[in-house]
Amino acid sequence: MSGASESEHGRVDILVVEDDSVYRMVLVKRLADEGFRILPARDGEEGLRLARESRPEMIVSDLMMPKMDGQTLCEGVRADPELHSTYILLLTAHDGIEAKLSGLESGADDYLVKPCNHRELIARVRVGLRIRKLQRENIDLVRKNTALAMAVTLNHEINNQLAGAMAAAEGLLLSKSPDDPDTRKLNIILQCAANIRDIVARLRNIRQVAIKPYLADREMVDIDRSSEEA
């Protein structure tokens, strides 16, 4: 069982949000015994805070809680761009259709009636985590295809512009004597243009999409790693 955020103890699989301490302990133990990495929260407010800190794959939350109930927690998670795709399994003590609908309409992906059958709980959790894995794989595929399409576009558009600029610089260079001050400047322009052409050529050879940090909140494609064989 883990009681710390992702930054302290690694990736969190499931955030368990339950105000009943005994039932929370039962849920945490059941899930931890299955090998999942668990982060417990005592109520909806703490659950939303920990979700923003740890970005869990899944949230298993009680519906009826003090301070912030499960429905409000769902709405907060769905409103957060960093969390909106997190899988949410709501637990409710009410078996009525209205309770189930209110949870699903607030953004929950699934629900279970408390007390939960152990095997059904684990099965639902595994399904939820499998769905999250498929979502991530789809996002990665879209990201890769977008990067590859952008590389082809840049290669075509930039090379067209470079060809014109280099032709113009070479034409000017022919009219200059070797000791003309502009000769050195034109040679620098041509060398820089050649360097850009080489970078664009490497973009054309991208086979996979490798990312590296750029700024504090930005990333960029690592051209050298992306051009390597997978």
Res 71 pLDDT > 60: yes
Helix or strand or coil: residue 30? helix
Domain count, the chain: 2
What band does 201 get if pLDDT is binned at 50, 70 and 90?
A: confident
Query: What helix, strand, coil percent values describe the chain, rounded to 5?
Result: 55, 15, 30
**What's this model's pTM, rounded to 2 decimal places?**
0.63
The reported pLDDT for the residue numbered 136 is 80
* Token digits of residue 34: 């299955």
Same domain (yes/no): 109, 165: no
- Count, in order, helices (H) and strands (E) of the chain: 8, 7
Tens of pLDDT, residue by residue over 54-70, are 999 999 999 889 889 99
Q: What domain range includes position 172?
A: 140-226
The reported pLDDT for the residue numbered 88 is 95
Same domain (yes/no): 85, 162: no
For the stretch 197-204, contacts whose Cβ atoms lie closer than 8 Å and that sit 24 or more positions apart, written own/partner, are 197/159, 197/162, 199/223, 200/154, 200/155, 200/158, 200/159, 200/162, 201/155, 202/227, 203/151, 203/154, 203/155, 204/151, 204/152, 204/155
How much of the chain, in percent, has pLDDT values that exceed 90? 39
Same domain (yes/no): 18, 109: yes
Res 139 pLDDT > 80: no
What band does 89 get if pLDDT is binned at 50, 70 and 90?
A: very high
The reported pLDDT for the residue numbered 8 is 42
SS3 letters across 177-193: CCCCHHHHHHHHHHHHH
Same domain (yes/no): 35, 100: yes
Same domain (yes/no): 24, 108: yes
Q: Among the listed ranges 4-13, 37-46, 132-141, 195-204, which one has the minimum average pLDDT value?
A: 4-13
Same domain (yes/no): 111, 144: no
Cβ burial, residue 40 (10 Å; 0-12/13-18/19+):
buried
Same domain (yes/no): 111, 192: no
The DSSP call for residue 68 is: S
For residue 27, the tally of other CB atoms under 10 A from its CB is 23
For residue 143, the tally of other CB atoms under 10 A from its CB is 12
The reported pLDDT for the residue numbered 7 is 36
Same domain (yes/no): 151, 110: no
